[in-house]
Structure 1
Amino acid sequence: MSRRVFFLAGGRMAVYQWSGGTLLEPLWFAADEDGLTEFSLYLDHAPKDPVYLLVDVVEEEFREETIPHVIGGDRRALIRTRLNRLFRDPTYSYAAMQGREAEGRRDDRVLFTALIRPDLLSPWVGQIAKHKVPLAGIYSLPIVSETLIKRLPVEADHALLVTLQSTGGLRQTFFHQKRVKLSRLAIMPPGGAPGHASYVLGEIEKIRRYLNSLRQLPHDSPLDVYIVASRGLLTDVSRQSPDSLTTRHHLLDVADVAQMVGMKGTYGSDYSDRIFAHLLAKKRLPNQYAPASQTRHNTMYRARLGLIAASIALVVAALFVSGANVIDAFNAIGETASAKQRTEFYNERVEIFKRRMPSIPAEPRDIKAAVEMAQTLRNYKTTPLAMAMTLSRSLVDFDTLKVDAIEWLASTDPAAQIGGRRDRSNGSRPGNQALAASTEPVRHYQIADIKGRVEPFDGNYRQAIEKVKQFQAALLALPQVEAVNVVELPLDTSSDKVLQGDLRQGNPEARFKLHVVIGERVDEAG
């Protein structure tokens, strides 16, 4: 499936397209007015493939804490409370479970992270939402690094992973047993490779001392540092700083690392950007930072794919059954020769019996025609494909309507019901007085009861009812739809019903039910 990785770092956005298991060359957009305008034009013309937004910024905090060991809703509530306490703005926040304490209450160890400046993402995320692009999630580069370090020859329990990005970032991420504990982003100074080597070594020493002050390092062994960089920079690092009692360097050529993660062809870069983008596109990790309101288009996208897949499965099943009938027909042809003699024998006996039988009111050929017609009707089959495609096409513009169940039948009677019940209100296409009075030749009808709900729902029943009626009108606008009847509205306002509610209800629901009839014309059936 086609997808894209958007990489936000150093005030620029890189767009990588995933095609055939590889990443194409990126498009770059600056974080200014012109860059955002170009980004908007790109989103307007590019296919609506899902987007994985990878972020590498200085404004990211990491806090490791423990919480009581609880599960389910209690854990989610506890984590949300802790995020609100730790971060001033937890819009883009994440909690990663990292095992349990070995002693005492055996509390859960949790790494809490957050992007503390949401305004860095707002212009980009706003454009993505404006163009209704499916956003699969927002991801932290240090957390994605856990996927990378598992592919590297890392054996030490305490490891520091150092990578360089083309936007000028030097990312240092500390791991304990291959789980992120903290990360720091420094900005590389301008200049040549020799100057870069001394700067990298200086930053490594700073973070080593910081880790030592936090008692994160063992006293009897050095810190294992894994540097992923170009061969030239690694040579300068090796020459300027050999291993010592406090630090042990592991130098990894960025091109070799690209092969370790499964990238094809020549890498052709001194930086790690494409490696992280490749891992994210290939693994399609669960969302980390994006709130549900920003991933709703991706939810709709996946639901639409599910409906299409179900429709295709129904078609394949129908073709399979038809193929079995064809095979049976060929087998029958093979038996024709042996049956011919038996047919002649029985034909002679039939003629004898016909002469002995009394006269009947119907001719034999009429009886034969009736039997053949009954057999034709018996062999006729239909599938809910047309109904599924009709609903899928209409739901595209109603992202707040969630379908929970569909009951379906096929009939030559458009007024056939799925279970006895009485409709609240009827709708039919303009120009039709009633389904039964339609003069257009119809071979059969497909009838469905659709049960669903309005979500998210904030208690505004008027708005929910209007949304259901708009959906009813959208269905009626389709030429194949004969009628759409509202069976149940989110709020029953009919005169014979008692209007009631419960003020203590914390999460009201807005459920609805529609009765949909579509017809298959004779000219369509062929």
Structure 2
Amino acid sequence: MPQRHLLYLDANAMRCHRWQHGKVTEEARFATTDEGITGFARYVQQHTGGLFTLLVDQVEESFQLDSLPYVRGPDREAMLTRKRTQAFFGSSLSGALSLGRESGGRRDERFLFVALTRQAALDPWLQALRVANAPLTGVFSPALLIDRLVKRLAADTPRCLLVSFAPGGMRQTFIDNGRLRFSRLAQSLHDVGSAKPAHCAAEILKTHSYLTGQRMIPRDTRLPVHLLVDSATFGRLRGGLADSDTLHYLHTPLQQLAHKIGLNSEVRGGDALPALLHWMARNPGTLQLAPPAERRYYRLWQTRQTLLGGALAVFAGAVLFAAKLALGSYQLNQETLKLQATSAAQNAQLNRLMSALPALPVPLNVLQPAMDTLDTLRRQTASPRPWLSHLSAALDAHPALTLRDLRWQVLDDPAAQTPPGSVMGHARLSLPETIAGDRRAMLDSAQDFLAELSRPPGHSVRLTRQPVELAPDRAFRSASQNAAPSEGADFEVSFGLRGGAP
């Protein structure tokens, strides 16, 4: 985390504080002179690696309440910018605080426009930050901090006057419906320890008269006044602060509020500055008044942090992915070692079993060829008897045919489509001489015999040689046409038989 430097500027000095772990510690103080501005510039140059936040506590403030049409997006920003320029001409340190929408009519949105009107008093200090390229997170006003801080008060404060003390003076902040409406600083009461009760009462009465004259509060209304101080300071001031029909003084313990917001620094007397600075550092959502040009280096710092965060995220993802791969590799190595150990154990067990077996009568290199020869002889013992029986049955069904030639073999090829032990053969047969001149009759006889062979268990039956020559350029004649007898009234068939072994 970068070092946080909280700057507090009043009419007399610039106070530089360090904020760390909920503690606010003053590091340096520079008077509002040329020497003080030069010393502040050196201080900023020495701490360029940190973030700077400026709290301005001066009399030159302006608060204007207005109602504007409810719009959103770029039109809203353009409308607010134009309104701030019209209301605070010549002052770039301004902002618009939304107070919610009205309940009736067009339901316009109510805005409190806030500005620091003495730009010349701030420019030398801002220039020192610009020259050092110091990231400025924002410029704040105590009134804007109290607007969000008032919700942490124990008392019910829908409408009240909150009085606080800081080195810049006594600040009176008017809260209406729980939101900031007006704030006024009395510089003469900058030391709460020496503040006179009568002087405080006079300043509070001035503020009450102003609020009544501006019709911010109804007449004849008793306004609660909360003094944000410690018990000792309240007891000292209470003697000169008499309740009346219009004012009612109450004590709001400063130590209790500091504990609620998480301030770890010691609160001394009635000085509310440490609590305000701590609240400013903890709540980045508070409205700030610096224009975008003053916060340019802070935006660059945010961009660098975003890129750095993205790079760290990618690096973390790469480390996790590498760790996952390393874990997977380690697990794979462990499984490999286990498999190797299991294989070695099984081989050892196999060797023990083999060593326990009786010795072979002949060496293994002599026995293996003998076993291969035995397998070959077993495959050659297949008999063609079923194949011949099937052929004989077909011949019995066609006694006119004469067997002329016969060839057979046992198929034992693993790559073949037929299973081992199948018998395949070829037979040449001759047709009777009575139909030697009738080609159609010869073809019909051959087809009938082929159909007889196709009956189970016969398979792969086909006619390998026709009994007649079928040429496309020769006429197909019958015997009645007195054609010359055909030479070679023989035909050949091939068929197989599954399971040819006896």
CA distance in 2, matches of 1:8, 1:74: 34
- SS at 2:196's partner residue? helix
How big is the shift at 1:147? Answer: 2.2
Counterpart of 2:494? none
CA distance 1:191–1:184, change in 2 (3 Å):
closer
Structure 1, gaps ≥5 residues long = 348-526
How big is the shift at 1:253? Answer: 3.5
Counterpart of 1:70? 71
Contact 1:136 1:287 in 2 (8 A): no
Counterpart of 1:102? 103
CA distance in 2, matches of 1:91, 1:260: 34
1:257-336 to 2 correspondence within 5 Å? 257-286=257-286, 288-336=288-336
Cα-to-partner distance string for 1:474-517 (whole Å, 9 max, x where unaligned): xxxxxxxxxxxxxxxxxxxxxxxxxxxxxxxxxxxxxxxxxxxx
Counterpart of 1:120? 121
* Pairwise CA RMSD: 2.4
**Bigger Cα displacement from structure 2, 236-245 vs 36-45:** 236-245
**Bigger Cα displacement from structure 2, 195-204 vs 281-290:** 281-290
Tell me, yes or no, if structure 1 residue 39 matches structure 2 residue 40.
Answer: yes
CA distance in 2, matches of 1:107, 1:192: 42
Tell me, yes or no, if structure 1 residue 157 matches structure 2 residue 155.
Answer: no
Cα-to-partner distance string for 1:277-323 (whole Å, 9 max, x where unaligned): 01011122355211111111001111111111111111111111111
- SS at 2:49's partner residue? coil
CA distance 1:193–1:328, change in 2 (3 Å):
closer
**Paired amino acid for 2:70:** H
- SS at 1:212's partner residue? helix
CA distance in 2, matches of 1:322, 1:193: 64
CA distance in 1, matches of 2:49, 2:56: 21
How big is the shift at 1:233? Answer: 2.9
Counterpart of 1:129? 130
Counterpart of 2:367? none
CA distance in 1, matches of 2:195, 2:267: 24
**Paired amino acid for 1:128:** L
Percent of pairs with identical residues: 27
Structure 2, gaps ≥5 residues long = 348-502
Counterpart of 1:49? 50
- SS at 1:97's partner residue? strand
**Paired amino acid for 2:314:** L
How big is the shift at 1:67? Answer: 1.2
Cα-to-partner distance string for 1:241-278 (whole Å, 9 max, x where unaligned): 34332111111233333223221153234311111101
CA distance in 2, matches of 1:203, 1:293: 37
CA distance 1:110–1:193, change in 2 (3 Å):
same
1:406-445 to 2 correspondence within 5 Å? none
**Paired amino acid for 2:229:** A
CA distance in 2, matches of 1:181, 1:213: 14
CA distance in 1, matches of 2:167, 2:293: 32
Tell me, yes or no, if structure 1 residue 226 matches structure 2 residue 222.
Answer: no
CA distance in 2, matches of 1:291, 1:258: 30
CA distance in 2, matches of 1:77, 1:205: 39
When Rg is computed on C-alpha atoms for both structures, the one with the higher figure is 2
CA distance 1:285–1:30, change in 2 (3 Å):
farther
**Paired amino acid for 1:280:** M
CA distance in 2, matches of 1:87, 1:80: 11
How big is the shift at 1:81? Answer: 2.0
Contact 2:91 2:118 in 1 (8 A): no
CA distance in 1, matches of 2:197, 2:255: 18
- SS at 1:188's partner residue? helix
CA distance 1:295–1:261, change in 2 (3 Å):
same
CA distance in 1, matches of 2:144, 2:159: 16
CA distance in 2, matches of 1:193, 1:54: 22
**Bigger Cα displacement from structure 2, 323-332 vs 114-123:** 323-332
CA distance in 2, matches of 1:13, 1:194: 22
Cα-to-partner distance string for 1:299-354 (whole Å, 9 max, x where unaligned): 1111111111111111111111111122223323432443115666999xxxxxxx
Tell me, yes or no, if structure 1 residue 141 matches structure 2 residue 151.
Answer: no
How big is the shift at 1:192? Answer: 8.6
CA distance 1:336–1:155, change in 2 (3 Å):
same
Scaled by the length of structure 2, the TM-score of the pair is 0.65
